[in-house]
Structure 1
Amino acid sequence: MSTQSDQTIDAINRFMDSFIGFGTDFAPIFDAADNDPDCAIAAAYAAMLGIFMETPEGREIAGKYYAQAKSALSKATDRERLFTAAVFDLCDQEVGNLLKKLRELVTDHPGDLFAAKFGQNSYFNIGDDEAMLWIADSVFDRHKACAYVHGMRAFGREQSSMLELAEEDGRKATEMQRKEPWAHHAVAHVMLTQGRHDEGIKWMQDLSNEWEDRNSFMFTHNWWHQALFYLEQEDFETPLKLYDEKVWGVDKTYSLDQVNAISLLWRLEQLGVNVGNRWQDISDHVAARSMINDQPFYDMHYGYALARGGKRDALERLMSGLEEMARVAPEITRKSWADVALPSTRGFIAIAEGNYHDAVRWLSKARPRYQEIGGSHAQRDLFELAWLTSLLNAGNYDEALPVLEARVNFRQDVPMDARLLARAKSRH
């Protein structure tokens, strides 16, 4: 790194560890960048943190450090210049250019595990499973003594349906470093996909003490995974308890905490559970968001929560932004906004209003392309369930039946799937 400051090096190491390991020690990067204005990459990390804050104030902070990084670029190494340029693309919402630079970083500088993690996250947001795995494979040999790279490869493999290899990597990462919650999460994905619910519950429960000091997303998301194991077994009391105690309430302003909570509450409701007045609190916080239309995957959740909570003004603002993104989003994501997120959100609003025929009409257009809006297979299954339960509520049993039969055949002995299939057959 282009610095002589021990403070800068320490702050960067803490920032990187927190990002890769889902920790909380981010803030020192601001002081380090302020005290070392000639270190471009320190300013780049500070600009990233401003973006991660998801507020107008955070954007202003990002702009300040963007300018500082730009003025210090002449003193940077080739790697630092390339990474800093990628951060400029992040700030400017130039998604295609960002992905290109991150691929170049992974190829030419495989020692930069932070760039690899950032790259994997960025490809995750556009549903490119092949690139996610390619990134992990590209840096694996350089970092194979590090648990984090095993966790990264585990998730890339799981999303690429290499389930046995993914579990092997996830278990290896956990053996190397017990506090590797991303690896715990990857194994949970495998177990959920394979219908190994009892194993999954034990796996996550045994490791749950390692999540207490992780950031709010990782804490709530791993408890969300635990709740899904119970929910799919049709134990609905436990997921509601986990929702109240673990999933909702750590950081009610943060996008991914909101998405975890919406996803769990909506799943329960689709299975006939009375969730009481819980939509009111979450819709209040979604309506208060200053930053919307950031990710199509997020907006699809927000739309249902706002409709379900009766937040008409906020919902109109969300939909107006969705329509604009369908026209002006970066080319690489524009079609996912226009052809997937926008019709889906209209369908989800129809569900909240009880208009299941309209929901089926909108969701049937978008369903074949859900991969494009990012998220994991497990997360996107929420949207599949929304479509299936809408078909059942609309009386379209012929369309729902073969899909539900395929689910039951793929994951045998899952009570949730069996109950939905029985419902389709009996009405049929």
Structure 2
Amino acid sequence: MTHDIFGQDSSLTDAAALQDWNAVQMGVLAHAAVTADHLGALLKAAPDFALAHAIKGLSLLMLGRRELLPAAREALRDAKAQYQGALPRERKYVDALENWLAGRASQAVRRMEEVLDEFPQDTLAMKLSHGIRFILGDPGGMRASIERVMPAYEPDHAGRGYLLGCHSFALEETGDYERAANTGRQALWMAPDDAWGLHAVAHVHDMTGNARSGLDWLEGREQAWAHCNNFRYHVWWHKALMHLDLGQMAEAIALYDTEIRKDKTDDYRDISNATSLLVRLELEGVDVGTRWEELSNLCASRTEDGSLIFADLHYLLALTGHRKEDAHKLVQRIHADAERGGSEACARMADPGCAAADGLEAFGDGNYKAAFAHLSAARGTLQLAGGSHAQRDVFERITIDAGLRAGQLDAVEAILDDRRSNRGGTEDNYALARRILIAEGRNPSSAKSVPAE
């Protein structure tokens, strides 16, 4: 028996395989692009290592793609074949994969928390609990999970910097902005490649309406996310949002073209970056040209997926107003999944999915009264769709603009007040501009379209 980089017992006995396993774990924490290479090498060198098969399966599920389910089931089968030779802690990961494949992601979280009950220094279990809770829209759970294991981390623990990065993000998502910013800076000092911690501080700047300081924070720190897998596109997305809030539309569009959509992937996280940025630009009166064509073509092929409501709603952003038949097909499928039930994903299709999807479709059709009614109904539970406050804010903006166009000025002002309260009492330029429209009784659709450069 050996010990991994976090001091946990491991059933691996080969030194080279253990080195790859340590690289896999550190790669997961750093969102490193090379993680898959290390996992492939590990599976080849130690095919009897059940935990590696479990991590492969869990990683596939996090991609939120129906066509990857057979590969995830195969990973579970391979992990189960080695189950008896695994340590009790390692078996919990296999159990987590089995739970998630059965449609109970929250049970997978519970398995990770059971690991942490006995092994609080298992940073991989901490990260997986954090990541799945993020998908499930559980920021309070993210924070509680991290804070209960923090006393077990000495300053020289290999995972401490990444733990702080996760804590920073959980603090931000639960509204503790000052602590979040300080913790994120400490995380990056301890782990210079902790893109998650760096991006948590970017979230703080977004939520407090401080785009200029946000750009200053990201400037010169590009190496903190250059090594990343597609998560690097998301950090560039944050930078584009900051430019947008400062009215620097050309800079935002340039980042869209050169970084955010540098690689035309159909990963739902990349699609969400792209669609939500284009929507924000259009709400500000920017003509985004033909950029929707690429996205709508990709999203039209995802209408039957149904893995995550967060993904579906972002696919809808590319389809409504552009490919209406495909948009309606996706909305119908969301309703069908909601009626079928049987999994936590289907429960989220029902609430908040159905109301949010109906609202987005109505907005794309120009039926702003119906759009506002549906989207307002979804607001209270939209967090269950997963993602961050910053990511879900695109739906808040659509709700606000639908209300303005429908003449629901008092109701919109109440939403703006609530939005300001959730952002620490501050407002960004978007909210201030909408308050001016309310004061003047004007419709945002009357704004002159500005062509993208």
Does 1 or 2 have the higher relative contact order (CA < 8 Å, sep 6+)? 2
Q: Which residue of structure 1 aligns with residue 11 of structure 2?
A: 2
Q: Which residue of structure 2 aligns with residue 279 of structure 1?
A: 292
Q: 1:356 aligns with which of 368, 371, 377?
A: 368
Q: Which has the higher helix share?
A: 1
Matched, 1:259 2:296: no
How far off its partner does 1:32 sit? 2.6
Matches within 5 A, 1:20-419: 20-25=29-34, 26-52=36-62, 58-145=68-155, 146-216=160-230, 218-289=231-302, 292-310=305-323, 312-313=325-326, 315-330=327-342, 332-404=344-416, 412=426, 414-419=428-433
Q: Distance in 1 between matches of 2:66 and 2:138?
A: 29
Q: Is the 8 A contact 1:195 1:411 kept in 2?
A: no
Q: Which amino acid aligns with 1:388?
A: I
Q: TM-score, normalised on structure 2?
A: 0.88
Q: Is the 8 A contact 2:303 2:312 kept in 1?
A: no
How far off its partner does 1:333 sit? 4.9
Please provide the CA RMSD for this pair: 2.2
Residues 305-358 of structure 1 show CA distances to partners (whole Å, capped at 9, x for unaligned) of: 112331624x34423431232134455454432131111111111111211112
Residues 93-118 of structure 1 show CA distances to partners (whole Å, capped at 9, x for unaligned) of: 22232122122122222122111111
| Residues 214, 54 of structure 1: alpha-carbon distance in 2 compared, 3 angstrom cutoff | same
How far off its partner does 1:7 sit? 3.6
Q: Distance in 2 between matches of 1:309 and 1:249?
A: 22
Gaps of 5+ in 2: 1-9, 443-453
Q: Which amino acid aligns with 2:33?
A: T
Q: Is the 8 A contact 1:292 1:318 kept in 2?
A: no
Gaps of 5+ in 1: none
Give the stretch that moved more between structures: 321-330 or 191-200.
Answer: 321-330
Match of 1:418, SS? Answer: helix
Give the stretch that moved more between structures: 381-390 or 51-60.
Answer: 51-60
Q: Distance in 2 between matches of 1:229 and 1:156?
A: 21
Give the stretch that moved more between structures: 62-71 or 389-398.
Answer: 62-71
Q: TM-score, normalised on structure 1?
A: 0.93
Percent identity, aligned pairs only, is: 27
Q: Is the 8 A contact 1:52 1:58 kept in 2?
A: no
State the number of aligned residues.
Answer: 426
Q: Which amino acid aligns with 2:116?
A: V
Q: Distance in 2 between matches of 1:7 and 1:320?
A: 51
Q: Which amino acid aligns with 1:20?
A: L
Q: Distance in 2 between matches of 1:340 and 1:187?
A: 28
Q: Distance in 1 between matches of 2:80 and 2:112?
A: 18
How far off its partner does 1:159 sit? 0.9
Q: Which amino acid aligns with 2:439?
A: K
Q: Which residue of structure 1 aligns with residue 439 of structure 2?
A: 425
How far off its partner does 1:54 sit? 5.3
How far off its partner does 1:420 sit? 1.0
Match of 2:219, SS? Answer: helix
Residues 159-196 of structure 1 show CA distances to partners (whole Å, capped at 9, x for unaligned) of: 11111111111011112222211111111111222222
Q: Distance in 1 between matches of 2:92 and 2:418?
A: 46
